[in-house]
Amino acid sequence: MERTFFGAVLGSLAGFSSLGLLGFLWSSSPVPSGPQKPESDWRLLDPVTYENISLFPVVASSSPDTGEFVTLDEALSTGDVIVREQGSEGLARSRDGRVISDYPRGASVNQLVLINRGKRPVLLLAGELVSGGKQDRIIGKDRIVPVGADPLPLDVFCVEHGRWSSGANFSAAKTIVHPSVREQAAVEQDQSRVWGAVRGGSTAAPAPAAPAPRLSRSELSATIASDAPTESYSAIYKSRQVGVSVDNFVDELQRRFARETSGLKGERVVGVIVAYGGEVAWSDIFASPDLFHQYWHKLLRSYAVEALARPTVREVASRDDAREFLRRLNGRIKEETEPGVYRWREINEGRLSLIELDALQPKPIMLHRLLLRRTS
Domain ranges, ordered by start, for the chain? 2-373
> What's the mean pLDDT in 170-194?
92
CA distance 185 to 352: 16
More confident residue, 91 or 217: 217
CA distance 52 to 274: 11
pLDDT reported for residue 256? 97
pLDDT reported for residue 218? 87
- Measured at the CA of 87, the angle between CA 81 and CA 90, to 5 degrees, comes to 75
Instruction: Tell me the pLDDT of the chain averaged across its residues.
Output: 84
> What's the mean pLDDT in 234-250?
88
Would the pLDDT of 148 be above 80?
Answer: yes
Would the pLDDT of 43 be above 70?
Answer: yes
CA distance 260 to 255: 9
Residue 127's pLDDT band (cuts 50, 70, 90): very high
State how far Cα 279 lies from the chain centre: 20
Among 6-15, 80-89, 160-169, 179-188, which stretch is predicted with the lowest mean pLDDT?
A: 6-15
pTM of the model: 0.85
> What's the mean pLDDT in 221-245?
85
When mean pLDDT is compared over 168-172, 202-206, 235-239, 267-271, the highest value belongs to 267-271
Residue 227's pLDDT band (cuts 50, 70, 90): confident
DSSP 8-state secondary structure symbol assigned to residue 51: T
**Which residues touch 257 (CB under 8 Å, ≥6 apart)?**
48, 55, 57, 300
DSSP string spanning 210-254? Answer: PPPBSS-HHHHHHHHHHH-TT-BHHHHHTSHHHHHHHHHHHHHHH
Would the pLDDT of 141 be above 50?
Answer: yes
CA distance 194 to 180: 8
pLDDT reported for residue 31? 43
DSSP helix/strand/coil, 260: helix
**Which residues touch 94 (CB under 8 Å, ≥6 apart)?**
100, 115, 117
| In contact, 46 and 32? CB cutoff 8 Å | no
> What's the mean pLDDT in 57-70?
95
| In contact, 26 and 335? CB cutoff 8 Å | yes
| In contact, 178 and 305? CB cutoff 8 Å | yes
pLDDT reported for residue 79? 94
Segment 290-346, tens digit of pLDDT? 999 999 999 999 999 999 999 888 889 999 999 999 999 999 999 999 999 999 999
Would the pLDDT of 34 be above 60?
Answer: no
> What's the mean pLDDT in 347-362?
96
Residue 71's pLDDT band (cuts 50, 70, 90): very high
> What's the mean pLDDT in 336-364?
96
More confident residue, 14 or 60: 60
pLDDT reported for residue 223? 86
pLDDT reported for residue 106? 57
Residue 205's pLDDT band (cuts 50, 70, 90): confident
Amino acid type, 369: R
Segment 302-314, tens digit of pLDDT? 999 999 999 888 8
DSSP helix/strand/coil, 325: helix
pLDDT reported for residue 243? 82
| In contact, 103 and 151? CB cutoff 8 Å | yes
Segment 78-125, tens digit of pLDDT? 999 999 888 664 434 444 545 455 444 556 668 899 999 999 999 999
CA distance 171 to 155: 17
Residues paired with residue 24 on neighbouring β-strands, in sequence order:
336
| In contact, 105 and 120? CB cutoff 8 Å | no
DSSP 8-state secondary structure symbol assigned to residue 204: S
What percent of the chain is predicted at pLDDT more than 90? 59
Q: Among residues 281, 283, 271, which one has the least CA distance to residue 317?
A: 281
Among 30-34, 74-78, 197-201, 267-271, which stretch is predicted with the lowest mean pLDDT?
A: 30-34
pLDDT reported for residue 105? 55
More confident residue, 132 or 353: 353
More confident residue, 228 or 18: 228
> What's the mean pLDDT in 184-211?
88
